[in-house]
Amino acid sequence: MTEIKLIYFAWVRERIGLAEERVDVPASVTTVAELAAWLQLRGEEYAYAFENPAIVRAAIDRKHVKPDALIAGAQEIAFFPPMTGG
């Protein structure tokens, strides 16, 4: 088990109902995609937030990453919708 800080933004945050949390992630979860799939099982809110996992983007330690990125060593992992700034 590794404790990781998770941060959520925009509708991902609203659907989960939390801006951030610390979770104990089992060692079997190694990638961002696996983490999203594991989170989906934590409850209805999470299932709703990740109902279309292909849309949700992620950042590890404030850098954009792809779903196959490894989470080992991550301090902070963020999940958010595609960006709409500018």
Partner 1 sequence: MEPRIVFHVQAEPFDVAKEIDALAGLGDDVGAVTSFTGYCRSEGGYLLALELEHYPGMAEEEIGRVVQEAVTRWPLNGLTVIHRFGMMRPGDGIVLVATASSHRLAAFEAAEFLMDYLKTRAPFWKKEHRADGSSGEWVEAKELDDKAASRWQSRS
Which residues lie near partner 1 (CB under 8 A)? 7, 9-11, 59, 62-64, 78, 80-86
For residues 72 and 30, the answer to whether their CB atoms sit within 8 Å is yes
Q: Compare residues 46 and 79 and give the one whose CB is closer to partner 1.
A: 79
Q: Smallest gap, in angstroms, from Cβ of residue 49 to partner 1?
A: 13
Residue showing tokens 């941060």: 7
Q: Smallest gap, in angstroms, from Cβ of residue 57 to partner 1?
A: 9
Token pair recorded at residue 68:
């196959």
Q: Compare residues 11 and 38 and give the one whose CB is closer to partner 1.
A: 11
User: How many other CB atoms are there within 10 angstroms of residue 51's CB atom?
Assistant: 11
Task: Give the Cα separation of 86 and 72 in Å (integer).
Answer: 32
Q: Smallest gap, in angstroms, from Cβ of residue 86 to partner 1?
A: 4
